Structure 1
Amino acid sequence: MKTISKSKLKSKLLEFLRLVESEGEEIVVTDRGKPVVKISKYGDSPPTKELFGQMRGKVKYFEDLTAPTIEEWSEL
């Protein structure tokens, strides 16, 4: 992970963006030595099925969300 000041980034932004795009390098931008922004390659989000697949069949749906349920919460 590279670190660069805002002033240096301003003059060479396109060069650094190409580096991030081609090599996947992450860049931390600093202001007076303190990190303020991280630039990284955009990644696609995993599909919904992959994210929530293990929950299939475990979620209960109730018609009226304001009606009390008859089930009690069990202690863990």
Structure 2
Amino acid sequence: MVITISIHHGSSPMVWQISASQFKARCLGLMDDVARSGEALVITKNGQPVAELHPCRGTRRASPFGLHLATRLDGDVVAPLDEPWDVLQ
């Protein structure tokens, strides 16, 4: 089993590469390695990069507001309705 390493010069971190078949066989361990090292893993198919596995950082949002930026509110959405509304009907 061969894992190749591509080193990018400058401020970019080291990037590890692995074939898709090797990744499939070692997926869970590689996920732990990426989380521990903080470095990306490039998954290749037929020698060509097809996916990257990055460590997960800060995915929790404090609030769901702002997730749907294209939503538009028309009128007063807080004021009482002009018609009666019975919850039990």
Q: TM-score when scaled to structure 1? A: 0.56
**Segment drifting more, 10-19 vs 36-45:** 36-45
Which of 35, 38, 58 matches 2:52?
38
Quote the offset at 1:25 in angstroms.
1.7
Compare relative contact order (CA 8 Å, sep 6+) and give the higher one, 1 or 2.
Answer: 1
Q: Judging by fraction of residues, say which structure has more helix.
A: 1
Cα deviation digits, residues 4-54 of structure 1 (max 9, x gap): 000000110111000011111210000001100000011226x8xxxxxxx
Identity %: 28
* Mapped partners of 2:33, 2:39: distance in 1: 6
* Mapped partners of 2:47, 2:21: distance in 1: 12
Which of 21, 24, 27 matches 1:13?
27
Aligned residues: 46
Q: Which stretches of structure 1, 4 residues or more, deviate above 6 A after TM superposition? A: none
Q: TM-score when scaled to structure 2? A: 0.48
Quote the offset at 1:3 in angstroms.
0.2
Structure 2 alignment gaps of length 5 or more: 1-14, 62-89
Structure 1 alignment gaps of length 5 or more: 48-76
